[in-house]
């Protein structure tokens, strides 16, 4: 997982200094289903909150339903969907 303070590519409209952004959340297949993804999301929320930020934001390809269910189950809400090139991406956020 990559934790960023800016994301001008997927979140150019985010007010500077209010958000952190997660990218490339990945878990080895051998660890799948053991809560690692949830722990990484929880760490992202805790770390962003400790920096005084209001939101943790992330995106994924819009047709990746299992991943979207993971984010929604954790408490992220769908902000919107945006098109980048030929793909559509779902943008999610959680208020800290």
> Long-range contact list for 36-42, CB < 8 A, 24+ apart?
37/70, 38/70, 38/74, 40/1, 41/71, 41/74
Structure tokens at 9: 């590519």
Global pTM exceeds 0.85: yes
Q: Tens of pLDDT along 72-84?
A: 999 999 999 999 9
Q: Tens of pLDDT along 35-87?
A: 999 999 999 999 999 999 999 999 999 999 999 999 999 999 999 999 999 99
- Mode of pairing for the β-strands spanning 19-23 and 77-84: unpaired
């Amino acid at each position: 997982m990559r934790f960023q303070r800016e994301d001008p590519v997927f979140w150019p409209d985010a007010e500077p200094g209010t958000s952190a952004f997660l990218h490339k959340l990945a878990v080895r297949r051998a660890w799948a289903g053991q809560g690692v993804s949830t722990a990484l999301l929880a760490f992202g929320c805790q770390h962003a909150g400790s920096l005084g930020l209001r939101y943790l934001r992330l995106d994924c390809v819009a047709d990746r339903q299992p991943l979207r269910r993971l984010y929604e189950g954790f408490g992220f809400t769908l902000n919107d969907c945006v098109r980048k090139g030929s793909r559509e991406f779902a943008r999610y956020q959680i208020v800290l």
